[in-house]
Structure 1
């Protein structure tokens, strides 16, 4: 069981810290909730303890896994589908998976695509979401601030365009 102070990832929302475990009544039902504070935007999220597995809540990666994320970000981009809606759906399902490696793939592929040909508005929003999720987890995994992690990721793409 997770405890107060644990760093966790909530798929599609990003990483946060469990600030409290509280009982709340929602729709006439009392149950325990994890209260998460998300570093990216300072949002608070309540997750029922009984739903932890079904929503994919997991612990933040550790340092060796950060290096695997770097490898993904610097890897060769996957060939993209020509149809934007198919690309969008594949990328969205990767983000929903909760896997930081799949989220990193989406960030890498969309950033490389954006350098070659500007993204559509929908794909731009998807990139922004994926980047926010990735950054939020790396902030907690590396114990760095948001701006440092953003600059670091952007620097990876400026210095070493994937596939070169």
Structure 2
């Protein structure tokens, strides 16, 4: 009887705050005398992440969305409203919570709102960093969906949403 895994080798998944990648393998590692199983996730930036199989549900990891879902998110991206009533602290906290969910729509909202704000005034260093992270997060998934590099996905994303 084989072990049941939530994800399989070759699955394209999204790891919140890090982006999308492909599960390359499932490996056993001995740590402090105990053997644990890990998903080995290859991210587009050549970084590998090992995620414990037994705790995978704690990380809000999900499969990469399909092209129809992506198109719907990009449509909502263009037409959604930005909440301009929040002060910096509230906005930063809200954006961080959205990014931690790993949901594509939440990440797209953060990117949209920060891009709009950046056009109006210079963002502070924390929000500039979050803008870059949100752009990488969305472009990594866009790249996997379309079979292109992350740089090509950033260019496509900038084109689609208007830099």
- What is the TM-score of this pair, normalised by structure 1? 0.91
Task: Pick the aligned partner of 2:91 from 81, 84, 87.
Answer: 87
Distance 2:51 2:152 in 1: 29
The answer to whether the aligner puts 1:74 opposite 2:87 as a matched pair is: no
Q: How many residues align?
A: 158
Deviation at 1:3, TM superposition (A): 0.9
CA deviation string 1:42-61 (max 9, x = no partner): 10000011111111111100
What is the SS of the residue equivalent to 2:112?
A: helix
Distance 1:58 1:82 in 2: 29
The answer to whether the aligner puts 1:129 opposite 2:133 as a matched pair is: yes
Deviation at 1:82, TM superposition (A): 4.0
Deviation at 1:157, TM superposition (A): 3.6
- Stretch moving more, 103-112 or 71-80: 71-80
Distance 2:84 2:101 in 1: 19
Runs of at least 5 residues in structure 1 that lack an aligned partner in the other structure: 160-164
The answer to whether the aligner puts 1:107 opposite 2:144 as a matched pair is: no
Deviation at 1:156, TM superposition (A): 2.8
Deviation at 1:69, TM superposition (A): 1.9
Runs of at least 5 residues in structure 2 that lack an aligned partner in the other structure: 1-5
Give yes or no for contact 1:24–1:32 (8 Å, CA) kept in 2.
yes
Distance 2:162 2:59 in 1: 35
Deviation at 1:70, TM superposition (A): 1.1
The corresponding residue for 1:162 is none
The answer to whether the aligner puts 1:158 opposite 2:162 as a matched pair is: yes
- Stretch moving more, 71-80 or 59-68: 71-80
- What is the TM-score of this pair, normalised by structure 2? 0.91
The corresponding residue for 1:48 is 52
Question: After the TM superposition, which parts of structure 1 deviate over 3 Å for at least 4 consecutive aligned residues?
Answer: none
Deviation at 1:81, TM superposition (A): 3.6
Give yes or no for contact 1:88–1:123 (8 Å, CA) kept in 2.
yes
What is the SS of the residue equivalent to 2:71?
A: helix
* Cα RMSD, aligned residues only: 1.4
The corresponding residue for 2:153 is 149
Give yes or no for contact 1:10–1:55 (8 Å, CA) kept in 2.
yes
